[in-house]
Structure 1
Amino acid sequence: MIVLFDGVCNFCNYWVNFLLKRDKKNIFLFAALQSESGQKLLRKFNLSTTDFDTFILIDGKIYQTKSDAVISIAKNLSGFPKLVVIGKFLPKFIRDYMYDLIAKNRYKIFGKRESCRIPSLEEKEKFLI
């Protein structure tokens, strides 16, 4: 499974770090939406190559965005993060409204980097560049 994320967003990078620590099954790979690999995957699925307001989860030939992606990611984690799956019982329009509210204000609240993160040597195998 590939998680596409906004590489300059501090909030998004926090969640990537969170997932890296909890990916005990070693099933996630990561790519910044702005990276060459991220852009290639966006084009493959006919998604915007300039709108970086959502996590995108790619699993084989399908992709999910916004709250659906978050819930699917949580399903593959153990412990308390799995509680996010309960959100599936909320209507999608409510879940995505909350997601969009955070996404729209993420730079204002959490800040932004000058450039995309560069994975450490230990993380390198988990990132598509």
Structure 2
Amino acid sequence: MRPVARPEFSYREDSGVPRFDETRLLLVMDGECALCSAAARRIARWDHEDRIRIATVQSQLGRGLLLHYGLKPDDPESWLMIKNGRAHGSLDAIVSLGQQIHWSLRPLLILRLLPFGVQDWLYARLARNRYSLFGKGDICALPDPELQRRVIAK
């Protein structure tokens, strides 16, 4: 599911969205998903320039942002990447993120050749089945101090 298009930085006017460091790219992902937890650990390892922060869907910030952009916090398809005050979602945002964090993810660019409808369908299949495919985990319970430093708990 793609976020509702809104003007840049529109969340600043939403009382349900706590303030956060807008100078960094912010990811809103499921804190209970093993696939998301693995991705968060990898991001922490590859983000040498310290450009990325992570808010879980379960946090006040994550929930507030999802609701602001018309997404349902309890929907497994809901995730966001906030970059330069704009929200991005679905597979296209994952591909975009991959290009920014590690060269090994460049082959994912091929997915951008697919129409948005196909990208959304692929993402939805993965999102809806991630617990059965990868199990559950807890981003916040991970002992990795580098990841813990990046997770926004509010």
Pairwise TM-score range, normalised by the shorter structure: 0.7 to 0.9
Aligned equivalent of 1:20: 44
Q: Which residue of 2 aligns with 1:11?
A: 35
5 Å matches for 1:1-129?
Answer: 1-113=25-137, 117-118=140-141, 120=143, 121-129=145-153
Segments of structure 1 that go 5 or more residues without pairing to the other structure are none
* Paired residues, number: 128
- Two-structure CA RMSD over aligned residues (Å): 1.9
Report sequence identity in percent: 23
Structure 2 segments unaligned to the other structure (5+ residues): 1-24
Once superposed, which parts of structure 1, at least 4 consecutive aligned residues long, lie more than 4 Å away?
Answer: none
TM-score under structure 2 length normalisation: 0.73
Displacement of 1:128 in angstroms is: 0.8
Offset at 1:74? Answer: 1.4
Cα pair 2:71 2:78 within 8 Å, conserved: no
CA contact (8 A) 1:57 1:69 kept: yes
Which whole-Å CA distance do the structure 2 matches of 1:109 and 1:39 have between them?
24
**77-86 or 59-68, larger mean C-alpha shift:** 77-86
